[in-house]
């Protein structure tokens, strides 16, 4: 995949009557992007129906004798065909990254499919941004999605950009916690990662989304094209 320049995203093409509300939310809802730990963010509903997806790299985070897995996330900008998507890759090799240091979180936007910069192409292929390598081709292999009754795109974009400064913790404040935070801020409804010992790994949580959180069936990137 050719290199692309990363940047701080802002949501675009808002319905006119939602713009004032979104501005107020972003100015007064700074607590939605409080660094440190997974938290349980309370969504602020600003727009209409939306859609969220979780992408899985099942062989991410190898541990003694098994893989914990790794997840990325995506959400639809309501009323458009534009998606905002990303992940916290932590390619530092360290189990802890202090707040403010590079945790290799990235945030992009584009269509769902049909171009090199699309959601599906980005997760299926190699990602290099500004000369920095984030993940290889075929690292992410599958995804599942959920329709949402409401969507708070502005708050979720702010949360996603703030996560770049959160640092990283292997047990908490990791790729799974960050995906949960972004998607629940947007309006997704999903099981809390620490609510059961079987859900603390990305692989376990991804499977549980279909059982406990109403996510659709698993789709495979190789078959999406």
Q: What CA–CA distance (Å, rounded) separates 25 from 47?
A: 12
Does 33 reside within a domain? no
Query: Which one, of 65, 64, 102, 107, lies nearest residue 85 by Cα?
Result: 107
Does 24 reside within a domain? no
Does 31 reside within a domain? no
Does 20 reside within a domain? no
Does 67 reside within a domain? yes
> Phi/psi zone of residue 159: left (φ > 0), alpha (ψ -120 to 50 degrees), beta?
alpha
Q: What are the helix (H) ranges across 147-225?
A: 153-163, 175-186, 202-212, 221-224
Does 151 reside within a domain? yes
pTM of the predicted structure, to 2 decimals: 0.78
Show the domain range for 168: 39-224
Does 3 reside within a domain? no
Q: How many domains does the chain have?
A: 1
Which pLDDT tens digits describe the chain residue by residue (225 residues)? 434 433 444 443 333 333 333 323 332 232 223 233 334 444 444 678 999 999 999 998 877 788 889 999 999 998 899 999 999 998 777 777 888 888 889 999 999 998 888 999 999 999 999 999 999 999 999 999 999 998 999 999 999 999 998 877 777 789 999 999 999 999 999 988 765 656 778 999 999 999 999 999 999 998 675
């Amino acid at each position: 995949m050719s290199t692309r320049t990363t940047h701080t995203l802002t949501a675009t093409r808002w319905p006119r009557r939602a713009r004032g509300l979104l501005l107020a939310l972003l100015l007064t809802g700074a607590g939605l992007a409080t660094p440190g730990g997974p938290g349980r963010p309370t969504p602020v509903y600003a727009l209409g129906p939306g859609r969220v997806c979780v992408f899985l790299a099942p062989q991410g985070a190898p541990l003694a004798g098994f893989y914990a897995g790794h997840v990325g996330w995506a959400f639809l900008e309501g009323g458009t065909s534009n998606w905002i998507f990303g992940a916290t890759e932590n390619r530092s090799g360290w189990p802890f990254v202090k707040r403010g240091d590079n945790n290799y979180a990235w945030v992009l936007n584009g269509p769902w499919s049909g171009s090199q910069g699309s959601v599906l192409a980005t997760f299926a292929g190699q990602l290099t941004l500004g000369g920095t390598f984030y993940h290889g081709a075929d690292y992410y292999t599958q995804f599942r999605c959920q329709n949402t009754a409401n969507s708070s795109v502005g708050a979720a974009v702010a949360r996603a950009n703030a996560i770049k400064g959160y640092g990283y913790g292997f047990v908490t404040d990791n790729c799974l916690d960050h995906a949960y935070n972004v998607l629940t801020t947007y309006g997704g409804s999903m099981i809390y990662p620490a609510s059961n010992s079987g859900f603390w790994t990305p692989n376990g949580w991804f499977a549980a989304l279909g059982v406990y959180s109403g996510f659709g069936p698993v789709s495979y990137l190789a078959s999406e094209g």
